């Protein structure tokens, strides 16, 4: 079962009568956030915390006294009370850890990207189907209020016919050692685009450059076109003077700027161009509409909590 770009999943196994037993693998950058949010979820119980760093394990054991800690994944996977494993480790480990967990009969949540290559991601999806387990990839932006607000506008026809979408996700760093900027930053924009448009691109073209580390692209431009006629361009870079997280959607009726770092993350522009067929040879009729700019009220909640709740 494929849940939009939110998840790669097989059919659910039998539901447990109590809270789902969860193991968190990895206490690096994102693992502590996962633990914090899981602690607030009454439908989940953190049973294991696994990491290679014993000092980190000791720290988070004090914060989660009900959980056991270990440096050995096999101890986690042998526990029949563990229903699901959440993986937040370096990308090059995702495939191996997820495959081990699926073979042990666990449901699996993996932080993006799912695997270091599309081939390995396909293998994991196939394995999840064979084992009748859920395999979900973390795309937290799909649960964010601004992204969902834009989705509602598109579905309601507020923008009219969408002409194109242009997205920029750039900053100075952080360079990754095991994947390119496309694999590191791209999943955010690609998942958002597919969620908004509810269709896959029919053609994808990409160009990039490995300016700093040989063999690892640190800047890339990805162009996509869709059967609906929409075109999209995504700019990705670890080599930019400042941080920018902005997407522009241009439609026949309105335009939208979604800026993840702005106080008003969504702005709707009642602007556009109207073309009229010429009545005589040589005429060229264009009129420009410049109306109001509206910043809709956006609800507030933590996307990660909603995402993990969906998985659990």
- Is 15 a residue whose pLDDT tops 70? no
What pLDDT shows up at residue 42?
84
Question: What pTM was computed for the model?
Answer: 0.89
Indicate the DSSP class of residue 175: P
pLDDT digits (tens, 9 = 90+) for 112-153: 999 999 999 999 999 999 999 999 999 999 999 999 999 999
- Among 121, 117, 130, which Cα is nearest to 10's? 130
Is residue 21 pLDDT above 60, yes or no? yes
Strands 219-226 and 134-138: unpaired
For 180-198, give the DSSP string: -HHHHHHHHHHHHHHHHH-
Higher pLDDT: 281 or 195? It is: 195
Residue 181 banded pLDDT, cuts 50, 70, 90: very high
pLDDT for 291 equals 87
Spell out the domain ranges in the chain: 2-138, 142-300
CA–CA gap between residue 25 and residue 68 (Å, rounded): 12
Computed over every residue of the chain, the mean pLDDT equals 92
pLDDT band at 11 (very low <50, low <70, confident <90, very high): very low
CATH superfamily of 142-300: Dihydrodipicolinate Reductase; domain 2 (3.30.360.10)
Please give the average per-residue pLDDT across 230-237, as a whole number: 99
pLDDT mean over 182-209: 98
H or E segment to which residue 128 belongs: helix 118-131
Please name the residue that has the structure tokens 């959440």: 86
Residue 289 has pLDDT above 90, yes or no: no
Q: What is the pLDDT of residues 63-117, one digit of tens each?
A: 899 999 999 999 999 999 999 999 999 999 999 999 999 999 999 999 999 999 9
What CATH topology corresponds to 2-138? Rossmann fold (3.40.50)
**Residue 29 exposed, middle or buried by CB count within 10 Å (0-12, 13-18, 19+):** exposed
The percentage of the chain sitting over the pLDDT mark of 70, rounded to a whole number, equals 92
pLDDT tens-digit profile of 270-287? 988 877 776 665 566 777
Instruction: Look at residue 255 and tell me whether its pLDDT is greater than 60.
Output: yes
> Token digits for 171?
């900053």
What mean pLDDT comes out for the span 49-61? 95
Question: What distance lies between CA 215 and its chain's CA centroid?
Answer: 24
Query: In 3-state terms, what secondary structure has residue 176?
Result: coil
């Amino acid at each position: 079962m494929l849940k939009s770009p939110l998840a790669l999943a097989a059919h659910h196994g039998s539901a447990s009568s109590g809270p789902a037993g969860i193991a968190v693998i990895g206490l690096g950058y994102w693992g502590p956030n996962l633990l914090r949010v899981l602690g607030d979820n009454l439908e989940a119980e953190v049973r294991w915390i696994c990491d290679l760093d014993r000092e980190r394990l000791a720290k988070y054991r004090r914060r989660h006294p009900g959980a056991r800690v270990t440096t050995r994944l096999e101890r986690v996977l042998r526990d029949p009370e563990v229903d699901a494993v959440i993986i937040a480790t370096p990308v090059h480990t995702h495939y191996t850890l997820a495959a081990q967990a699926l073979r042990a009969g666990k449901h699996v949540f993996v932080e993006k990207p799912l695997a270091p290559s599309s081939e390995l991601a396909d293998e994991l999806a196939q394995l999840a189907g064979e084992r009748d387990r859920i395999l979900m990839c973390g795309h937290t932006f799909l649960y964010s209020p601004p992204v969902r607000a834009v989705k509602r506008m598109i579905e309601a026809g507020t923008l009219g016919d969408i002409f194109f979408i242009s997205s920029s996700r750039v900053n100075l760093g952080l360079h990754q050692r095991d994947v390119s900027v496309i694999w590191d930053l791209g999943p955010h924009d690609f998942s958002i685009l597919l969620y908004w448009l509810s269709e896959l691109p029919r053609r994808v073209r990409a160009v990039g450059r490995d300016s700093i580390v040989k063999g690892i692209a640190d800047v890339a431009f990805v162009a996509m076109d869709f059967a609906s006629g929409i075109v999209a361009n995504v700019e990705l870079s670890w080599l930019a003077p400042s941080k920018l997280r902005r997407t522009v959607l241009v439609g026949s009726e309105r335009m939208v700027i979604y800026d993840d770092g702005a106080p008003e993350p969504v702005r709707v522009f009642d602007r556009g161009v109207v073309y009229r067929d010429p009545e005589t040879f040589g005429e060229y009729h264009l009129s420009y509409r410049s109306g109001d700019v509206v910043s809709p009220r956006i609800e507030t909640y933590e996307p990660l909590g909603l995402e993990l709740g969906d998985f659990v």
